[in-house]
């Protein structure tokens, strides 16, 4: 899926190999390969990489639910429970909205392995803010 293709270059998404599978207002799905670049020193998927994946799908879903010409979204809080170690293969993150309000959104994210077993569960709260215009800080 080509969502953010020009914006994604040389960002954390490309560094981690995150690829979108589905993007709707009701659900965002993305995959990330589990390999050395996302490992912690003991050869397991780094919890920070899981959190980055979770915030990516939650933020994308929130952005799809706002007026993109006038608004943007930024993360306020994220939590994650790491349930199972993973050394290789692919993980898939699925984000669904818990609350879509005018100024805040809350998204639940479930990250699973190829067999559908939970690797991480996360909840992300996002703020809906005015979009920055060219030339603004």
pLDDT value, residue 132: 81
What is the reported pTM? 0.91
Domain coverage including residue 14? 5-130
Q: Is 55 a catalytic residue?
A: yes
Active-site residue, from 6, 22, 35, 55: 55
* Residue 60 to residue 40: CA distance in whole angstroms: 26
Residues facing 20 on adjacent strands: 30
Asked, for residue 24, whether it belongs to a domain, the answer is: yes
Which pLDDT value is given to residue 9? 64
DSSP 8-state class, residue 114: T
Confirm whether 88 is domain-assigned: yes
Q: Tokens for 137? A: 């800080």
| 135 falls within a domain | no
E strand intervals along the chain: 19-23, 28-34, 71-82, 89-100, 104-112, 118-130
| pLDDT (0 to 100) of residue 6 | 55
In a domain, 45, yes or no: yes
Helix runs in 3-117, H state only: 5-8, 12-16, 47-64
Judge whether 136 lies within some domain.
no
Predicted pLDDT of residue 80: 98
How far apart CA 49 and CA 40 sit, in angstroms, is 9
The confidence score (pLDDT) of residue 5 equals 55
Task: With respect to residue 112, please indicate whether it lies within any of the assigned structural domains.
Answer: yes
CA–CA separation, 58 and 20 (whole Å): 12
Task: Supply φ then ψ for residue 135, to 5 degrees.
Answer: 85, -10
Q: Supply 61's token pair.
A: 């879903």
Q: Could you tell me if residue 26 is inside a domain? A: yes
pLDDT at 11: 87
Work out how many domains the chain is built from and give that number: 1
pLDDT (tens place) for every residue of the chain, 137 residues total: 555 555 556 689 999 999 999 999 999 999 999 999 999 999 999 999 999 999 999 999 999 999 999 999 999 999 999 999 999 999 999 999 999 999 999 999 999 999 999 999 999 999 999 998 765 55
> Is residue 137 in some structural domain?
no
Query: According to the model, what pLDDT value does residue 12 have?
Result: 92
CATH of the domain at 100: 3.10.129.10
């Amino acid at each position: 899926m080509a969502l953010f293709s020009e914006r994604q270059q040389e960002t954390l998404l490309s560094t981690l190999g995150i690829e979108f599978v589905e993007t709707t207002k009701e659900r965002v799905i993305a995959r990330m390969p589990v390999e050395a670049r996302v490992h912690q020193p003991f050869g397991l998927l780094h919890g920070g990489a899981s959190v980055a994946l979770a915030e990516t799908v939650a933020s994308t879903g929130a952005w799809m639910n706002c007026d993109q010409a006038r608004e943007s979204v930024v993360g306020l809080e994220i939590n994650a429970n790491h349930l199972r170690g993973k050394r290789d293969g692919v993980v898939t993150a699925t984000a669904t909205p818990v609350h879509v309000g005018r100024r805040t959104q809350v998204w639940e994210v479930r990250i699973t392995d190829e067999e559908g077993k939970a690797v991480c569960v996360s909840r992300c709260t996002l703020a809906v803010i005015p979009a920055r215009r060219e030339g603004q800080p």
